[in-house]
Structure 1
Amino acid sequence: MTSVSQLMPDRRIRQLELTITRRLDGLLRGEYAGLLPGAGSELAGSREYRPGEDEVRRMDWAVTARTDMPHVRETVAEHELSTHVLVDATPSMDFGTVELEKRELAVAAVAAIGFLTAGAGNRLGAGILTSEGVRRYPARAGRVHLIGLLRKLLALPRAQEGRQVALADAIRGLHRALRRRALVVIVSDFLDESDWAREMRRLGARHQVIAIEVTDPREMDLPDVGLLTVVDPETGRKREIATGSRALRERYAAAAAEQRRAVQQGLRSAGAAHVTLSTGRDWVADVVRHVHAQRRLALGGKR
């Protein structure tokens, strides 16, 4: 696997586009329901409830009360998709021990979302969470706009250690800014101590949400390399660790596993579709697996 950081920005973008379209074209192109299936959000009226066919959660209680007959809401699929991505570019994303850094994998995730939801009228907006705050880019259509966003992501300087902006605050700001229902994709390692899960629950009450968790294998396992100086990228604190201690390595692995479980539980409680990408795995294959799983759910478990 070639690191995208080894290529010039335009070549890196072209490589991402080719990788995405060659391996995923026909699976997702123009079908955002492939990323996260849904029945659509535009109200098309109501009709009488059909026992055994309709879901109770689609009941139109106002019409039911007026007519004394059970009715369900009918929706039609949106012909134009508005997608908004929130990309974590805080210091913890400047880490990678395999082929990619987490920040590069985040760019790849945004490229996949952008290229594969591209279509007539579909718009993509972005917020980039940096140490200084959130940089916002309005939703626009077209490949030129997408390429511009990817260039901005690739050109971001290294985040400054010791400076933090809470992920929860960024999600809250995005929620306030969205006026219409949208597909919202949050790309982060979720190594943030703020209550981002609560803000995601609020976001998910109105919007469809995908959480793309970006990880690195070394975050789960401490190698035996003697005396190791580690730095907390979010605070800048440094500490020397004697990695020769087996007990220490086991405690580290247990704490890392517990942290990941907490992230998974937070995302589950928020009702977000959860995709995990790793710098040590084939990220395109992970996207494909997520798509197939979502489509099976949309078909009621049938293939």
Structure 2
Amino acid sequence: MTTGPEPGVEQDASEPPATASPAAGAAATGRTASPERLEASLRALELTVRHRLDGLLQGNHVGLLPGPGSEPGDARPYQAGDDVRRMDWAVTARTTSPHVRETIADRELETWAALDLSPSLDFGTADLEKRQLALAALTAVAHLTSGGGNRIGAVVTTGATTLRLPARSGVAHARGLVRRVADTPRAEEGTRGDLTGALDQLRRPPRRRGLVAVISDFLGEPVWERSLRALSGRHELLAIEIVDPRELELPDVGTVVLADPETGRQREVDTTPLLRREFAAAASAHRDRVAAALRRCGCAQLTLRTDSDWVADIVRFAVARKHAQPTRAPGGR
């Protein structure tokens, strides 16, 4: 019996297929969508992101992760939660109290998206496929980090191929980037993902300091941890985890076929209460391992589910990140 979180659940023929959200329907591309339908879906997705996220993050950034830049700013008294690596030892010695050196947020941001479109993303049992949600996440990242000369690029991996889209500025480039990603052909079933390879491409050659957004379902063992940790020394990191509810727990539907899309293995099982408990426990343990690995890499984590309002989830995450930033002490220097 397989209790790992990787297998998908084949849908019973008697059940109606899941209906994709119009705003994220652009990801159902490549094999099925006509160019006209693709363009309309991408436009609907862009409008959804723009109308619901506009005005959320104004002023200095870094975008989804507002925080330190690269230019030195004022010194201020140390507060609980401050990064000790930003201690200003000269001011600390002169004042005999701990001080940290603030930095000025970069106004021109370079963002790179490492996007995992391996076969495990071609799955969804709720409002949309995980692949569709990954494209929606990319669109939101592009929107929230655009403007002011900011640049965005992407490395897209399907496991079979890797597509590199150079970082450039401008709305036209951001739209073209999303369109190119939506057009990426799906890999054949049985193809293993290669998130590590995509992350390594962002390390060589070194990029200017900026934001790296990793969009994946993070299934399987976290073999990508070393590559992601290497990026953390130079970039702010954001992991966007794509989750479908059927990867977390199995419904009581009798006999089903569990399938691993990245190996092609299948197993017919009876969804007994014991199996469902063991499956849920294994899925929870796997997500805990992923979260722990991301924390070790210094990576912020945003989880988007195919059965929830992904725009609202992004809003809550961004607002929480802004509120979590330490405030400047009154009169601090």
Q: Which residue matches 1:13?
A: 42
**Moved runs in structure 1, 4+ residues, more than 4 A?**
49-56, 68-74
Q: Which residue matches 1:293?
A: 320
Q: Which residue matches 1:101?
A: 129
- After TM superposition, give the deviation of residue 180 of structure 1 in Å: 1.1
Q: Which residue matches 2:64?
A: 35
Distance (Å, rounded) in 2 between the aligned partners of 1:285 and 1:31: 22
- After TM superposition, give the deviation of residue 291 of structure 1 in Å: 0.9
- After TM superposition, give the deviation of residue 179 of structure 1 in Å: 2.4
Which of 275, 292, 303 is equivalent to 1:265?
292
Counterpart residue type for residue 127 of structure 1: V
CA contact (8 A) 2:156 2:162 kept: yes
Counterpart residue type for residue 41 of structure 1: S
Alpha-carbon displacement from aligned partner over 1:109-128 (angstroms, at most 9, x marks no partner): 01011122211211001000
Counterpart residue type for residue 214 of structure 1: I
1:119-268 to 2 correspondences below 5 Å: 119-243=147-271, 245-268=272-295
CA contact (8 A) 1:166 1:194 kept: no
Distance (Å, rounded) in 2 between the aligned partners of 1:251 and 1:201: 31
Specify the SS of the correspondent of 2:301: strand
Alpha-carbon displacement from aligned partner over 1:222-280 (angstroms, at most 9, x marks no partner): 1222221222111111111122x211111111111111111111111211111000000
CA contact (8 A) 2:157 2:193 kept: yes
CA contact (8 A) 2:60 2:105 kept: no
Please tell me the root mean square deviation across aligned C-alpha atoms, in Å.
2.6
Indicate the larger mover: 70-79 or 154-163: 70-79
* Structure 2 residues not aligned, in runs of 5+: 1-20, 329-333
Distance (Å, rounded) in 1 between the aligned partners of 2:252 and 2:84: 55
Does residue 1:279 correspond to 2:306, yes or no?
Answer: yes
Q: Tell me which protein shows more helix as a share of its residues.
A: 1
CA contact (8 A) 1:29 1:117 kept: no
- After TM superposition, give the deviation of residue 40 of structure 1 in Å: 1.0
Counterpart residue type for residue 209 of structure 2: R
Specify the SS of the correspondent of 1:275: strand
TM-score by length of 2: 0.80
CA contact (8 A) 2:260 2:266 kept: yes
TM-score by length of 1: 0.88
Specify the SS of the correspondent of 1:40: coil
Q: Which residue matches 2:140?
A: 112
Between 1 and 2, higher relative CO (CA 8 Å, sep ≥ 6) is seen in 2
- After TM superposition, give the deviation of residue 73 of structure 1 in Å: 4.7
- With over 3 angstroms needed to count, the CA separation of the structure-2 counterparts of 1:50 and 1:211, relative to structure 1, is closer
Distance (Å, rounded) in 2 between the aligned partners of 1:174 and 1:192: 21
Alpha-carbon displacement from aligned partner over 1:45-81 (angstroms, at most 9, x marks no partner): xx7x6545797532356xx49xx75886553322211
Counterpart residue type for residue 259 of structure 1: H
Alpha-carbon displacement from aligned partner over 1:199-240 (angstroms, at most 9, x marks no partner): 222211211000000000111111222221222111111111
CA contact (8 A) 2:114 2:214 kept: yes
Distance (Å, rounded) in 1 between the aligned partners of 2:153 and 2:298: 22
Distance (Å, rounded) in 2 between the aligned partners of 1:35 and 1:269: 20
Indicate the larger mover: 274-283 or 153-162: 153-162
- With over 3 angstroms needed to count, the CA separation of the structure-2 counterparts of 1:240 and 1:293, relative to structure 1, is same
Specify the SS of the correspondent of 1:211: strand
Aligned length: 294
Specify the SS of the correspondent of 1:80: coil
Distance (Å, rounded) in 1 between the aligned partners of 2:67 and 2:197: 27
- After TM superposition, give the deviation of residue 31 of structure 1 in Å: 5.2
